[in-house]
Structure 1
Amino acid sequence: MKVICTGTSGSGKLDYLKRVVDEAERLGVKIHLYNIGDLMFKKAEELECPTSPEKILDLAPSSLRALRAAVFEEILKETEKVEHCIISTHGCFRWKNYLMPAFDVHYLNELQPDLYVTVIDSVLNVSRRLHESPAWKGRLTLKDILIWRDEEIFVTKMMASFQRKPHYVVAIEQPATTIYNLMFKPDMTKVYLSFPITLMIDDTQKMKEVREFRDKLREYFEVFDPLAVEDTELTYGTVGSGDAEEEYYLSKLSKDFSLTDTEKAKVEDQTVVRDYMLIDQSDIVVVYYPTDKTSPGVLCEIIYGSTNNKEVHAVFKERVSPFLKFHCTKVFADAETFFDYLKETGRITHK
């Protein structure tokens, strides 16, 4: 099993992939991790033309291509000796206000990966990591980071499409088992969990209830959680309280923090498109709705899932608008009834 994993600088990709490797080892599977960036610096040293993170993207395009090719030639030989590997790389770079390619189609064809994954994180977390990097500090605005993240997903998706391979977007707040399951349990049902985020983000008890439902789902399915990337809170001013119990309040914003109108619009648009993308890469949509208020976001996700050939199963604990129910495959009054139905229909096994 060969996996190409992309992600922008500052995405936390490498640390997340190391957790994936550790989790796989705990489960008895050895995965070899190759980080193209580190290998390129090492190869430059061997060739007695060392470079640095601050200067490598200033090299002549021909020099970068040659360095990358030398690394991929070695990886091609290495991957013949190992059963499972993840190759961590970039799809593109946004450097000095222009877009640079970060892959060679020839070597992707030679590698013939089985799976493509793009690792992402919230724009604020990425911004903070880049601010701590001498190579990237002060180079990118929040809007630049949003655009680069979008480009990284798009380029990787095109690479996967060209080779007719699956592509998934995975947030680093997803469990490390997510990529493990995508690699070794491809037939595991993938679920997009929909719930009214904006209506409940300040309700600690209801968010705890959602987390418990999500974790129960994860006992049987691979679950994509839209709040694994928490950009949305930037657009309506939610500020983390510091309470350890409120794990969704991760962005600790300063009092004078604000987005420009352009940045806010970009965040909102990308949030909608990304959630639809998560639905696309899922097999079914499961709605958990512990409130009687109507959420336009959940309504749109229900309609999108239903009209894109996905089953939509919904748990409505309160009386809700018939518009929320109209496009659902099946509706349940509580979580217990929902899980009983899954057992009765053979979707999950009894535990």
Structure 2
Amino acid sequence: MPFVVMITGIPGVGKSTITKLALKQVRVKFRLLNFGDLMFEEAVKAGLATHRDGMRKLNPNLQKKLQMKVAQRIVEIAQKEPVLIDTHAAIRTPVGYLLGFPKEVIEVINPNFIVIIEATPSEILGRRLRDLKRDRDVETEEQIQRHQDLNRAAAVSYAMHSNALIKIIENHEDKGLEEAVYELVEVLNLAVGEYA
């Protein structure tokens, strides 16, 4: 039976850092897959993109086709080993927000757990400004909060179509990265225990 945990959070929340640190401490080995990277691989193969951050500017119908291809690849991998998907639940595009997973795609992936990483808008803005490796759009704190609210709403809709459990982990500057990592390790260990 496939076992999939989805971890989501808006850009700059610290999701990838927390995930990588947690995977070094879990009892069961997970295969970490970045949904955006897999989509980018598919887009490059199809001649649709040359840069990862340009993906969100693709036509939404093309994005949905790429998402379905990636979802099918993930399910094949999850048949053999537990999978942790690093992804965005709601993606900001030039014309509005796109759900990271349309209904058909989430039903194919069918995650067991959805973990949402959140922080305050000011913390996220500060992290984005310090990260010079990515080409991120500039957003106000109000826009960041709206994006985070939509991310949470999207995760709830995914749970409705997959019966996944949802866990929210807060990654605040004063709380410490270690505590957020600890919470994720606990969730992953319990999740595998529940479905073993």
TM over 0.5: yes
1:161 paired with 2:160, answer yes
Q: Is the 8 A contact 2:90 2:100 kept in 1?
A: yes
Misfit runs of 4+, over 6 Å: none
Q: Is the 8 A contact 1:6 1:90 kept in 2?
A: yes
Match of 1:106 in 2: 104
CA RMSD of aligned residues (A): 2.2
CA distance in 2, matches of 1:135, 1:150: 22
Tell me by how many angstroms 1:58 deviates: 1.4
1:124 paired with 2:122, answer yes
Q: Is the 8 A contact 2:32 2:84 kept in 1?
A: yes
Where does 1:1-351 land on structure 2 (aligned, <5 Å)?
Answer: 1-24=3-26, 27=27, 29-82=28-81, 84-96=82-94, 98-131=96-129, 132=131, 134-138=134-138, 140-172=139-171, 173=177, 174-185=179-190
What SS does the aligned partner of 1:99 have? strand
Q: What number of residue pairs does the alignment pair up?
A: 182
State the Cα deviation string for residues 253-302 of structure 1 (Å, max 9, x = none): xxxxxxxxxxxxxxxxxxxxxxxxxxxxxxxxxxxxxxxxxxxxxxxxxx
Q: Which has the higher contact order (CA 8 A, sep 6+)?
A: 2
Match of 1:245 in 2: none
Q: Which has the larger radius of gyration?
A: 1
Q: Is the 8 A contact 1:6 1:117 kept in 2?
A: yes
| Larger proportion of helix | 2
Structure 1 residues 60 and 95: alpha-carbon distance in aligned structure 2, compared to 1, 3 A threshold: closer
Structure 1 residues 100 and 30: alpha-carbon distance in aligned structure 2, compared to 1, 3 A threshold: same
What SS does the aligned partner of 2:24 have? helix
CA distance in 2, matches of 1:48, 1:163: 32
What SS does the aligned partner of 2:77 have? helix
Tell me by how many angstroms 1:180 deviates: 2.6
5+ residue gaps, structure 2, are: 172-176, 192-196
Q: What fraction of aligned residue pairs are identical, expressed as a percent?
A: 20
Structure 1 residues 163 and 50: alpha-carbon distance in aligned structure 2, compared to 1, 3 A threshold: closer
* Aligned amino acid, residue 190 of structure 2: K
What SS does the aligned partner of 1:88 have? strand
Structure 1 residues 175 and 6: alpha-carbon distance in aligned structure 2, compared to 1, 3 A threshold: closer
Match of 2:194 in 1: none
Tell me by how many angstroms 1:80 deviates: 1.0
CA distance in 1, matches of 2:44, 2:95: 28
Structure 1 residues 101 and 145: alpha-carbon distance in aligned structure 2, compared to 1, 3 A threshold: same
CA distance in 2, matches of 1:183, 1:104: 25
Structure 1 residues 87 and 13: alpha-carbon distance in aligned structure 2, compared to 1, 3 A threshold: same
Tell me by how many angstroms 1:97 deviates: 6.3
